[in-house]
Amino acid sequence: MTVIVDLNLCQSHGQCVYAAPEVFAFDEEENLTYQPEPPESQHDRVRAAVAACPVRAILVSEP
Amino acid sequence: MSPLRRVVVVGASLAGLRAAEALRRHGHAGELVLVGDEPHLPYDRPPLTKQFLNDGWRPEQIALPIAPGLDITWRLGVPASGLDVADHAVRLADGSLLHYDGVVLATGARARPWPGHLTPAGVHTIRGLDDAAAVAEALSRTRRLLIVGAGFLGGEVAAAARALGVAVTLVEPQELPLLAPTGPHVGRFVAALHRANGVDLHLGSRVQGFTSNGRDELTGAELTDGTHVEADLAVLALGATPNIEWLAGSGLVTDRGLVCDEHCQPLRDDRLPAPDAVAAGDVTQWPHPLAGNELISPGHWSNSVEQATAAAQTLLKPGTAPAYRPVPSFWSDLYGTRIRSVGLPHLADSSEVVDHDPAAHRLIVAYHRNGALVGALTANHTSQLVPYRAEIQRHLDSRPSRTRLVHD
């Protein structure tokens, strides 16, 4: 699974951080950071994060 | 594999579409019918009071993506007019009858209209795409906009209009904006934001009546504080009212919404869940442990998404899905300031400012009820919500689930 967040779309709603806190986080500057290749144990949470994002900024590709 | 042959989803907005997606994802292979009163395919409402008004967004930019393979039978532009729980049938306004094996009730809410009497031309509400398109068009011609109600919707319309350079008068009956949902600290913060952006804010004041010219076009309003406001466009932001009238006679319990249990099942008059029926989104009310199991109806975007998913699971496998007890969240964007919240701040009996930086428009407010954290709100400081949300989640996880109501 590969994760890309369109940071131009992201408006810091934080929903992905709530859904998958081990993959998505905020840095001290309030910018979103994330793991582009999360481990399989996190994939369900990442899919939940995709569904929870109000601006559909998270793109996931699964082989 | 789900044994349901036909599931009818009544309501084709966010909750209805997300329920449809979850039904397919969790194995519903039968027919899936989506009924919507608007002629439009599902679209996203939050941008209607933001980019749609001031950034020239087009309807196609707010269309909700419909995944290929959902195989939905659309019944758009025709409202549901009745539900027969015993006979398992939805009646539509065109007289047709849709029998179901399972039904999802997701008819949402509508803008509360001006009480009592007719309003002159130029007075609008915003709930749907057509409403927002009419306001967007009128905003391009208006000289002076009056907004009645300084809640989230009214505030966002004010911000959008100011971004377009339109003069704005904002009238709010309470002493501060957002007082009931978020308390006085946020109220003062948001009032300052409006005033710093040139809004003529009238607090503790109501519209006594609208004034119009000989062609019945709006010219302004008389306020209870004695002011006459000039305006050729008005937006009523008086809150929302749930679309429950079509359920009259169904035997389902309605209050300030369709009353459901913790498993998204609507309750009948005998307080047992209606068989083969679930509900989701702004139409619902259900007991939440944060509120001491009082009924809540948050009316937020995230609730429609999460509740629709939970409801679909209950419909397909009754009795197996966990109780729906989310940490609610909502947001609002005002003049570039990002207001984000978790929990249920409106429940609080006390609130405290944890941090406030007026220059950066930053704010953190924590909300407590009986000494326990029930919510938090930040402005331009979303990262600081994460630990608050985690604490509320722990608090919820520590509460035992209410006794499951079992039906056949």
Q: Inform me whether the pLDDT recorded for A45 exceeds 70.
A: yes
B182 vs B190: CA distance, rounded Å: 10
DSSP codes of every residue in B88-119: TEEEETTS-EEE-SEEEE---EEEPPPSSS--
Every domain of chain B and the residues it spans? 6-110+241-316, 113-238, 336-397
Determine the Cα–Cα distance for residues B280 and B242; give it in Å rounded to an integer.
Answer: 12
For residue B380, CA distances in Å to A12, A57, B59, B150, B158 come to 9, 19, 28, 20, 19
SS3 for B167? strand
Nearest to B225 by CA among B205, B247, B196: B205
CATH class for domain B113-238? alpha beta
Give the pLDDT of residue B321.
83
* Secondary structure tally for chain A: helices H, strands E: 2, 4
Among the partner-chain residues B305, B383, B389, the one whose CB lies closest to the CB of A26 is: B383
B23 phi and psi angles, rounded to 5 deg: -60, -45
pLDDT of residue B2: 58
B244: three-class secondary structure by DSSP: coil
Of B46, B65, B380, nearest to A54 by CB-CB distance is: B46
Name chain B contacts of A12, Cβ cutoff 8 Å: 338, 340, 382
Work out the burial of residue B219: count CB atoms within 10 Å of its CB; fewer than 13 is exposed, 13-18 middle, 19 or more buried: middle
Point out which residues pair with B285 in neighbouring strands.
Answer: B259
Locate the chain B residue with the closest alpha carbon to A21.
B386
Question: Chains A, B: CB contacts under 8 A, how many?
Answer: 44
pLDDT in tens, chain B (408 residues): 558 999 999 999 999 999 999 999 999 999 999 999 999 999 999 999 999 999 999 999 999 999 989 999 999 999 999 999 999 999 999 999 999 999 999 999 999 999 977 899 999 999 999 999 999 999 999 989 999 999 999 999 999 999 999 999 999 999 999 999 999 999 999 999 999 999 999 999 999 999 999 999 999 999 999 999 999 999 999 999 999 999 999 999 999 999 999 999 999 999 999 999 999 999 999 999 999 999 999 999 999 999 999 999 999 998 888 899 999 999 999 999 999 999 999 999 999 999 999 999 999 999 999 999 999 999 999 999 999 999 999 999 987 665 444 443
Name the residue of chain A whose CA is nearest to B307's CA. Answer: A52
CB under 8 Å to A39, separation ≥6 — which residues?
A: none
- pLDDT value, residue B320: 86
Chain A interface, best mutation among B26, B378, B383, by max A CB count within 10 A: B383
The string of pLDDT tens digits covering residues B10-59 is 999 999 999 999 999 999 999 999 999 999 999 999 999 999 999 999 99
Task: Give yes or no for B293 touching A (CB within 8 A).
Answer: no
Selected residues 71-130 of chain B with any CB under 8 Å from a CB in chain A: none
Distance from CA of B10 to the nearest CA of A (A): 21
B163 by Cβ neighbours in 10 Å (0-12 / 13-18 / 19+) ranks as middle
Report A:8-37 residues touching B (Cβ under 8 A): 11-15, 17-18, 21, 26-28, 30
Residue B224 pLDDT: 97
Q: What pLDDT is stored for residue B402 in this prediction?
A: 55
Check whether A62 has a pLDDT greater than 80.
yes
CATH value of B6-110+241-316 in 1.10.287.110, 3.40.50.300, 3.50.50.60, 3.30.930.10: 3.50.50.60
What confidence tens digit (pLDDT) does each residue in B211-256 have? 999 999 999 999 999 999 999 999 999 999 999 999 999 999 999 9
CB contact, 8 Å: B50 with chain A? no
Q: For B269, what's the count of Cα atoms within 13 Å in the CB-facing half-sphere?
A: 7
Q: What is the DSSP string of B44-91?
A: -SGGGGTHHHHS---HHHHBPP--TT---EEEES--EEEEETTTTEEE
CA–CA separation, B370 vs B354, rounded Å? Answer: 18
Q: Is A42 on the interface with B (CB under 8 A)?
A: no
Which member of A13, A18, A28 has the closest CB to residue B389? A18
Q: CA-nearest residue of chain B to A18?
A: B386
- Tokens (6 digits) for B272: 């047992």
Residue type, position B293, single letter? N
Would you say the CATH fold of B336-397 matches that of B113-238? no
What is the predicted pLDDT for the residue at B28?
97
Cβ contact, residue pair B386, A56, below 8 Å: no
Rounded Cα gap, residues B95 and A44, in angstroms:
43
Query: Could you give the domains of chain A?
Result: 2-61 (3.30.70.20)
CATH number assigned to the domain with residue range B336-397, chosen from the 4 options 3.30.390.30, 3.40.1390.20, 3.30.450.20, 3.40.50.1970: 3.30.390.30
